[in-house]
Amino acid sequence: MAIVSATDQTFAAETSTGVTLVDFWAPWCGPCRMIAPVLEEIDQEMGDKVKIVKVNVDENQETAGKFGVMSIPTLLVFKNGEAVDKTVGYQPKEALVSLLNKHL
């Protein structure tokens, strides 16, 4: 499954079913750029079980504010529309896979 970009308007629909990893990011954020290829790898390996959604915090401040995103990258795990886990800052692939596996 391809990585999806969500907006304030589409966020609820994108995270409503299954396990979704949401990446709150911005183009000017160095660690966000570092984590992007890690998310691509996870998508290729786990895309049948996990959906990955990216939210640009500069363009979608309402959603970022709703979930208390203060620093980026912030990654939230949603299960059927509910936020169930959170990690902040760059994370290696193994840590993210472990985080996701807890909710599958």
Catalytic residues: 29, 32
Q: In which order are the strands placed within the sheet that holds 50-56?
A: 4-5, 50-56, 19-25, 74-79, 82-88
Burial class (CB in 10 A: 0-12, 13-18, 19+), 92: exposed
Q: Evaluate whether 54 touches 3 at the Cβ level (below 8 Å).
A: yes
**Phi/psi at 43 (nearest 5 deg)?**
-60, -40
